[in-house]
Amino acid sequence: MAYNEEDFLMLSGIEHFYFCSRQWALIHIEHLWAENFWTVDGSIMHERAHDKEFVESRGDLLVTRGMQVMSREMGVTGACDVVEFHRCADGITLSGREGLWEPYPVEYKRGKPNPSSGNALQLCGQAMCLEEMLCCQIPAGALYYGELHRREKVQFTSELRQEVRTALAEMHRLYERGYTPKVKPSKACNACSLRELCLPKLMKTQSVSNYLHSHLEDST
């Protein structure tokens, strides 16, 4: 199945969805958003990484920032923080560059490694988009953690790739229905920037956007 561009979802939503499907729906379906220190700090880091005019050459390494990617097969679009191209013996050709090159996506995160986050899924999704666009195979990438100032390598296993496909398929189903799922509040809610907008006690009655709309009308 190939998605039309008007049906594409944001690639960055994979991380939101992995953290909480309700949070993802509030942001991407109901278009609600709130910032806390962590989201602002993370946004600043991404702004620094997303310099679309930046291309750096270091011998056998090319570095690009903010590369736009998409996948018709998965129905997503987004931007990679950094894509490195390493000169190799069996890579792809690049316009205006001699030799063959292997893409290596790098995603910037403000904190430190967290196995329960969707960081690896988001990075793998970027690699899968690059593979579709460039007709190549990308075996690995890296997550750069700003708090630690170091990278962690991520292998794009078949299991991780299937997790990406499964998550995106469910995201498309929810988006097509315009449905915001109910969830059980947990300790993770304390770190959520949408905690005050989520209104867990009202999840069984109506959508958050309808609740806010009705109360705004009552106050006018």
Could you give the count of Cα atoms lying within 13 Å of 86 in the half-sphere of its Cβ? 12
Q: Look at the chain and report how many structural domains it folds into.
A: 1
**Residue 197, pLDDT score:** 80
Percent of the chain scoring above 70 in pLDDT: 80
CATH for 15: 3.90.320
**Residue 37, pLDDT score:** 41
Q: Are 207 and 218 in contact, with CB atoms under 8 Å apart?
A: no
Q: What is the Cα–Cα distance from 23 to 188, expressed in whole angstroms?
A: 11
**Which two structure tokens, joined as six digits, stand for 184?**
């059980």
Cα angle value 56/100/142 (rounded, 5°): 55
Helices 119-134, 158-177: inter-axial angle, 10-degree rounding: 90
Higher pLDDT, 95 or 162: 162
**Which two structure tokens, joined as six digits, stand for 161?**
């790739």
- Give tens-digit pLDDT for 171-214: 999 999 999 998 888 888 887 888 888 865 445 555 656 655 66
Torsion angle (degrees, nearest 10) of CA 98, 104, 108, 109: -170
Cβ atoms within 10 Å of 205's Cβ, excluding its own: 9
**Residue 172, pLDDT score:** 98
Q: What is the Cα–Cα distance from 148 to 5, expressed in whole angstroms?
A: 37
Across residues 45-52, what is the average pLDDT?
53
Q: Which residues have CB under 8 Å from 61's CB, separation 6+?
A: 84, 85, 86, 87
**Residue 203, pLDDT score:** 52
**Residue 204, pLDDT score:** 52
Q: Judge if pTM exceeds 0.85.
A: no
Cβ atoms within 10 Å of 161's Cβ, excluding its own: 16
Higher pLDDT, 220 or 65: 65
Q: What is the Cα–Cα distance from 84 to 56, expressed in whole angstroms?
A: 9
**Residue 41, pLDDT score:** 46
Q: What is the Cα–Cα distance from 65 to 14, expressed in whole angstroms?
A: 20
Across residues 106-131, what is the average pLDDT?
92
Q: Are 59 and 82 in contact, with CB atoms under 8 Å apart?
A: no
Domain extent at residue 70: 5-219
Q: What is the Cα–Cα distance from 131 to 171, expressed in whole angstroms?
A: 21
* Tokens 């050459």 -> residue: 57
**Residue 38, pLDDT score:** 43
Across residues 127-133, what is the average pLDDT?
98
Higher pLDDT, 4 or 42: 4
Say which range, 6-15, 63-72, 149-158, 198-207, has the weakest mean pLDDT.
198-207
